[in-house]
Structure 1
Amino acid sequence: MEASICIRPARPADAGLISRIIERSIRVGCVLDHRNDPQQVSHWIGRQSADVISAHLADAHCYLNIALLQDKPVGVGMVTTSGDIGFCHVQPEWFRRGAGRALMTDLEGWLRIRGVAQACIASTRSGAAFYRHLGYREAAPAFSDQGLHRVALHKALVVPD
């Protein structure tokens, strides 16, 4: 039996690690979206550089988390206090093994504690089925964002009394 996945809040020192996990996830797991177009990949990865991640980590309106398996980082996620899921990326060798679900459960829990009633994400095609599996539904027609096909999804969150 595989060990359980642990989720912890990200720390400022994790910025480079988070950026590397995102880069690997995009390069390997999102080929459907970027079709190995070097310019597209470079642009997408540049939006998640260590400097950008550091800024998110310093922003009180953002929460970033890290999924660990036996103390090894296997995935990362981010959400804002407005309910926007910024990203959920998992190392390719850990796809479909529960890390993404654990990251999202933690992000959604963070939102619920803050009284946020709905989570939203502008998913890529490669991620849309994952979010639908977690209960997200289309909120608007698909659209294009800097060359990437996006699907606007949302999920109602039950807020504790």
Structure 2
Amino acid sequence: MSLEIRSLEIRIAASTDADAACTVLRRSITECCDLDHKNDPAILDAWLGNKTPQMVANWFNSPTNFSLVAVSEGVVVGVALLTGAGKLALCYLLPEARGQGVGKALLARMEEQACSWGVKALQLHSTATGQEFFARRGYVDAGKVRSPYGVETVFFWKQLDAGAEAPDGGKRKRFCNCNPV
């Protein structure tokens, strides 16, 4: 199946988006993350176990989360969730929406939100499938961590505050309009 993204709207997710967002999560995990789950039914069952419309609606409604959906021509094609602690907990796309800038747009908006909250560094656990995507966007690989559902993930982080010193003593490039504290 092919989907050409002609128009893209990134907006705050509402509980009414939960069914469509749940479909994005489940399809992305099942169809795109085979490097991670290796079609093992036990791993898939564990990973998909909390990916229900009710649970997604709960995540969207939580006052400690910031959730976004990417919508193209009325169809939810991506979903992302940032916790108040500065963890990117979700960033998933429909399989046919990959490679068209949707993930980049969601991630950029999440980084902006983290900056607006005063988060100094964003962190996430990436699948093997998403590893290259995050590395290309300046995220630093800090090692492997096994997920509760049995998949080895890569712990990534990215410095967000503009005043942070780079390891070589120079100043990091500023990528958002955060105010250094």
Q: Give the TM-score normalised by the residue count of structure 1.
A: 0.93
Asked if the contact 2:14/2:57 (under 8 Å) is kept, the reply is no
Cα distance in structure 1, aligned partners of 2:92 and 2:178: 27
Identity %: 28
Cα distance in structure 1, aligned partners of 2:24 and 2:8: 16
Q: Write the mapping of 1:1-161 to structure 2, written as runs, cut at 5 A.
A: 3-139=6-142, 141-145=143-147, 146-158=149-161, 160-161=178-179
Cα distance in structure 2, aligned partners of 1:128 and 1:47: 23
Structure 2 unmatched runs, 5+:
162-176
Indicate the structure (1 or 2) with the bigger Cα radius of gyration: 2
User: Post-superposition shift, 1:105?
Assistant: 0.8
List 4+ stretches of structure 1 deviating above 4 A.
none
For the aligned residues, what is the CA RMSD?
A: 1.5
Cα distance in structure 2, aligned partners of 1:90 and 1:131: 14
Asked if the contact 2:11/2:68 (under 8 Å) is kept, the reply is yes
Matched pairs, number: 160
Asked if the contact 1:5/1:98 (under 8 Å) is kept, the reply is no
Moved more, 124-133 or 141-150: 141-150
Q: Give the TM-score normalised by the residue count of structure 2.
A: 0.83
Cα distance in structure 2, aligned partners of 1:82 and 1:47: 21
